[in-house]
A and B are shown apart, each in its own frame.
Chain A
């Protein structure tokens, strides 16, 4: 970012409740009330549409703006609800949130985009309510500053200049987090800033390998490569596949998920090896099925209800990183056993220890048996990290592990082998899933990282031949591309998007050639970027419908008369001519991107402003529906929501550059750089409450209470929302009762046990607290 500013004259705009260290370098800063991003971004959409600051050709050809929406879809601005709402279930029947489909199965379009049922007209209508005055009174962003930010963004609607949006947990950790990001994506589509160099929506991940975890299926509703976890209703493999094959909604579209069968079969071949056959649905019956979500909030609710009695934490400190710490501690105390696989001693592994005010516990009353299994850290193992630009980079270990520590894979493998041996010896209720799992590693108790990468990449099981019968890939050889995958069981690949990472020529992720042949900041031989080593997704959209670059300066992937060429691997059929009218968004059945999200978002196809579950203000857009109507909340947690009367201030938690989560409080140098827990408040709030900078305060919510030092700062200011001043209490997260920094409290003592309606990411960024001066904690 600083290089873009220094070398390309980029302008940096920061919108944040706090004047952050990024804001210190910004060309423009605008404050915002936590949890009102959709109001802000919806206001930007309104500004772009009403000032005609959109990239018209891009919008008309590369988005679904021209698609006609079914009559049954409606939004009622009075109630704040979309059609199909079921108040008892807190969810929508989304079947009407769809395109008008013609008799030929093809979606109906109005290329003029003037039909009142076209996405463009519905979009205009929906966001016309997001006027600068209303936006300002909801967000607390001064109107002139909001409009100035709109101007900056609108200046990139011309194809010559490009904006990128960067976000982190400040956008995701809300009950409407997924919709925050969608709103930004819609802005980028209106501006023509997706699939072009310098564009996109860029997630700044909280961990070096979050992207990798997600790719490999750490989410409980996914299996590797963003394939769906089967559910109870999908009784056989055919049904499962049938639900996931997306037929094109426009003639001739790529709709790449039509290849789902190949990816899924190759995954099951990786799971069950020779045991997976066409006759047994490739072992589908052995694979777990879910009947509901098993996200981490659901897990801790289950634990609290006594429905889970054993728990394995691997590189995971949920006592500190899950909302409502007291609820989590109660849950952990109900377990029979808890395993912590971690390089560090975590607060979770020591939840039963009494640390005075920092962790009140009665060890004599806790029966949970805790096992701590030490493992090495990332620098002590070979392996890969996947950046959020999808670049996978291999590393070799830098040091040996200390003491008795083992590798993470080794611990899991030893566990698996022992469990399998028990099943072999004693049988059991359902031994097949374990006994049939393919575990053909060189050392079954310690798979090498390279073996795992090769498995993710995949190989030919039998000779692969082309249409003429010529063998293109002999049996046993690593594959080079997911285009080689088959649905007949002749290929295996545990994660289809990683195919190409470890080919017959070796470990592609270990490449370290940083040359930039095009001079456009593309480094094609640096590691490997999934899919197919593409550095920018949907890069066909960097050229106009005729295949010419929108801008010569920004030319990237274009049609040379015979094929697509340019700086990157085309994300498109390499010889599909522009006149075939195949859309650049090849993963979507409609071939274009979605301003209207159809049925894929829990709370509506257009993002709508809803207040956080705890908010000091009513919803100024629609008083009848204050919060996200599709949020899932458990009964006990509803009772633990606070009111503005008791808790008048907005709490928001975040990280600091000096620390990494709860790890670096174990490191003396980091501990010296930010030694002691603090909260940040405005000078105005400090004055009102008699709080001095550097003095102790108590911060409490309906869930619990913490103490910290006060940093009284000009960088947080009261936000004027209409006539109501809103005070923000900033709460960094990094301290605990383990480590070498000064002891501190779990900030998640304060946070509410509720998550995003789509992803269940907890609402850590906006909740209600109170604050008062205090004396220091007693350990």
Chain B
């Protein structure tokens, strides 16, 4: 058992991180703190998950969200997809293992992966609507969100969802409010089998090593850790029985990367674009200085009057 975090005291406690710990801020430049906080991670061990959905329940409870009472679509997936009220969902996949001939029921808890290199943040045009703390948590600030949906397009895991009620983007915060006072996320706290553990990312990797060794001893030759480097690693990681085929787990991307469009927008395009805009502005200024302001001539006035049907 990974040692659980002790329960907090009942008195108020100051948050352990905040604005001063930002390493990234959407559409803004920040000065990162001199020293990063210990990087955290949530480790989801798919091989220990019983799909009970206690995490979904705890997520709704802690964040005071209520998913609507939906329908059965012929699976155990409820809610059927991530929504602004379901920041995490279990995705159930029935997979026939061609090597053993056995059925495997793969149950993956889906939600924000908290990428080290977050596509959502990079694509977000609203200053400060998406931030990344130095401990790795990627958080949304709904007061600054403009509801453009670029974060949805920018996310390599298809995670954020736009609310039809307030037209703002929602996703898992890794319970930044709980972590800020020394607690683990609500889903981890509720998990009855320790399929979800939370702590320093280095510890989580070590913990995963033990789990992977156990799985290999049980015949899962390709068991491994999912911490995709295409996005700089993630602060939510999976232990997978078949790490060579993440896609069998309800389409977990094999090699997730930030969309080239976003990279273009944030990279060359952004600076080229800014250069073009700057050049246009400079030209306008020079033109103004040389040509002076536009003046309305008598001829213009007459033409305008004609267009307005003789009335003025």
Contacts and interface: CB of A to CB of B under 8 A. Distances in A.
Given A24-B51, A668-B69, A710-B74, A715 B105 contact: yes
Interface of A: 2-3, 5-7, 9, 19, 21-25, 27, 29, 657-658, 668-678, 692-695, 709-715, 740-742
A56 to B, nearest CB: 31
Contact of B74 (A5, A27, A668, A712): A712
B16 to A, nearest CB: 28
Contact of B57 (A29, A670, A675, A678): A670
B300 interface: no
A676 B194 contact: no
B103 A714 contact: yes
A318 B53 CA distance: 28
A672 B70 contact: yes
Contacts of A675: 69-72, 78
B107 interface: yes
A671 to B, nearest CB: 5
Contacts of A740: 69
A24 B51 CA distance: 9
A27 B107 CA distance: 16
Contact of A2 (B48, B74, B96, B107): B48
Interface string B257-297: 00000000000000000000000000000000000000000
Nearest to B66: A668
Given A2-B48, A27-B218, A711 B96 contact: no
A23 B76 CA distance: 15
24 contacts: A2-B193, A2-B195, A5-B214, A6-B1, A9-B214, A21-B51, A24-B49, A24-B105, A29-B102, A657-B52, A658-B78, A668-B66, A668-B69, A669-B57, A672-B79, A672-B86, A673-B53, A673-B67, A674-B72, A675-B70, A678-B74, A712-B74, A714-B96, A715-B105
Contacts of B195: 2
User: Which of A22, A673, A675 has the most C-beta atoms of chain B within 10 angstroms of its own C-beta?
Assistant: A673
B244 interface: no
Nearest to B217: A9
Q: Which 8 A-B pairs have the closest CB atoms?
A: A693-B74, A694-B74, A672-B67, A24-B105, A657-B52, A676-B72, A709-B72, A2-B193
Contact of B52 (A23, A658, A710): A658
Contacts of A657: 50-53
B75 interface: yes
Nearest to A686: B74
Given A673-B56, A693-B73, 18 more contacts: A3-B1, A6-B1, A6-B214, A24-B49, A24-B50, A25-B50, A669-B67, A672-B69, A672-B78, A673-B53, A673-B57, A676-B72, A692-B74, A694-B75, A709-B74, A710-B74, A712-B74, A714-B94
A299 to B, nearest CB: 34
A713 B95 CA distance: 11
B137 to A, nearest CB: 25
A25 B74 contact: no
Given A19-B103, A709-B71, A711-B72, A672 B60 contact: yes
B57 A7 contact: no
A213 to B, nearest CB: 24
- The dominant DSSP class at the B interface is loop
A675 B67 CA distance: 10
Interface of B: 1, 47-53, 56-57, 60-61, 66-76, 78-79, 86, 94, 96, 102-107, 193-195, 211, 214, 217-218
Contacts of A23: 105
A673 B107 CA distance: 15
A658 B214 CA distance: 28
Contact of A25 (B47, B53, B69): B47
Contacts of B211: 6
A676 B78 CA distance: 10
A677 B211 CA distance: 36
A741 B76 CA distance: 15
A658 B72 contact: no
A676 B77 CA distance: 12
B103 A7 contact: no
B71 A669 contact: no
Nearest to A693: B74
Nearest to A665: B69
Contacts of A712: 74
A213 B57 CA distance: 29
Contact of A715 (B73, B78, B103): B103
Nearest to A22: B50
A9 B52 CA distance: 23
Contact of A658 (B48, B53, B68, B102): B53
Contacts of B218: 27
B7 to A, nearest CB: 13
Contacts of B1: 3, 6-7
Contacts of A24: 49-51, 104-107
Nearest to B219: A27
B72 A678 contact: yes
Contacts of B194: 2-3, 6
Nearest to B2: A6
Contacts of B48: 2, 6, 25
B143 to A, nearest CB: 27
Contacts of B75: 693-694, 711
A670 B70 CA distance: 11
B219 to A, nearest CB: 8
Nearest to B54: A657
Contacts of A676: 70-72
Contacts of A670: 57
Contacts of B106: 24
A775 to B, nearest CB: 15
A658 B89 CA distance: 13
A694 B72 contact: yes
A141 to B, nearest CB: 15
A563 to B, nearest CB: 34
Contact of A21 (B60, B86, B105): B105
Contacts of A658: 52-53, 78
Contacts of B96: 714
Contacts of A711: 72, 74-76
Given A6-B214, A715-B105, A669 B73 contact: no
A694 B194 CA distance: 32
A635 to B, nearest CB: 39
User: Which of A22, A25, A672, A709 has the most C-beta atoms of chain B within 10 angstroms of its own C-beta?
Assistant: A672
A741 B47 CA distance: 30
A657 B191 CA distance: 13
A2 B1 CA distance: 10
Contacts of A714: 94, 96, 103
Contacts of A21: 50-52, 105, 107
A351 to B, nearest CB: 24
A25 B105 CA distance: 9
Contacts of A669: 57, 60-61, 66-67
A666 B74 CA distance: 23
A741 B102 contact: no
Contacts of A742: 69, 71
A678 B60 CA distance: 24
B206 to A, nearest CB: 14
Contacts of B107: 21, 24
Contacts of A713: 94
A290 B47 CA distance: 52
A705 to B, nearest CB: 19
A713 B93 CA distance: 10
Contact of B73 (A5, A677, A694): A694
A7 B51 CA distance: 21
A6 B104 CA distance: 19
Nearest to B1: A3
Nearest to B104: A24
A670 B74 CA distance: 18
A740 B106 CA distance: 30
Contacts of A9: 214, 217
A673 B66 contact: no
